[in-house]
Amino acid sequence: MEESANKPLRKIHIIQGEYQVVTDADVVLSTVLGSCVAACVRDAEARVGGMNHFLLPGAQAARPLEAERYGAYLMELLINGLLKRGARRERIEAKLFGGARMVEGLSDIGAQNAAFAREFLKNEGIRIVAENLGGRHGRRLEYYPLSGRARQILLPTTPQIMEPPPKRAPKPDTHGTLELF
């Protein structure tokens, strides 16, 4: 862990459906991503930054308790959290991570998440200064919100073992047989 003026950093782990906004230089935000996306945003002049971690792109949930899984909800909370602490929209910069394709043969939710995050930030007038999206690897991410430094470690891919379905035992030929009880 890095230290700031001999003071150890406090690590805050962000899980799916969470976000965090901080003004403390001694905080590092961390998460682990697969197909999910994390937006890391900051306003250097206001000395405020944060991170979110969303599971699905922009559509809103049918039930309010599921809203925190969606990018639209978490992006709004993150940006509004910065603005409430003195950030100005024109100074906010973003870094995007995640959006991997974790399972072949299924829809590419990671690409959908990445496209949503880019489009959301573009519509909000927030510039993306760096991104590492897509691929086939999960990522472990640490973000230092006041300096804007991000450190990413790619995780090994998990081999996908596709086993054939179990063979069924052949049905016995019951034609012409009689069973007595």
> Can you tell me the mean pLDDT for 11-35?
96
pLDDT in tens, 29-75: 999 999 999 999 999 999 999 999 998 887 654 455 566 678 889 99
Task: Output the pLDDT for position 64.
Answer: 55
- Confidence at 166, pLDDT banded by 50, 70, 90: low
Domain topology for 3-153? 60s Ribosomal Protein L30; Chain: A; (3.30.1330)
Q: According to the model, what pLDDT value does residue 160 have? A: 54
Catalytic residue among 22, 32, 36, 48: 36
Residues in the chain: 181
> pTM for this one?
0.80
Residues 66, 71, 73, 74, Cα dihedral to 10°: 100
What pLDDT score was predicted for residue 32?
Answer: 97
* Mean predicted confidence (pLDDT) in 5-21: 90
User: Is pLDDT of 170 > 70?
Assistant: no
* pLDDT tens digits, one per residue of 134-150: 999 999 999 999 999 99
Active site residue 40: no
- Domain range summary for the chain, segments of one domain joined by +: 3-153
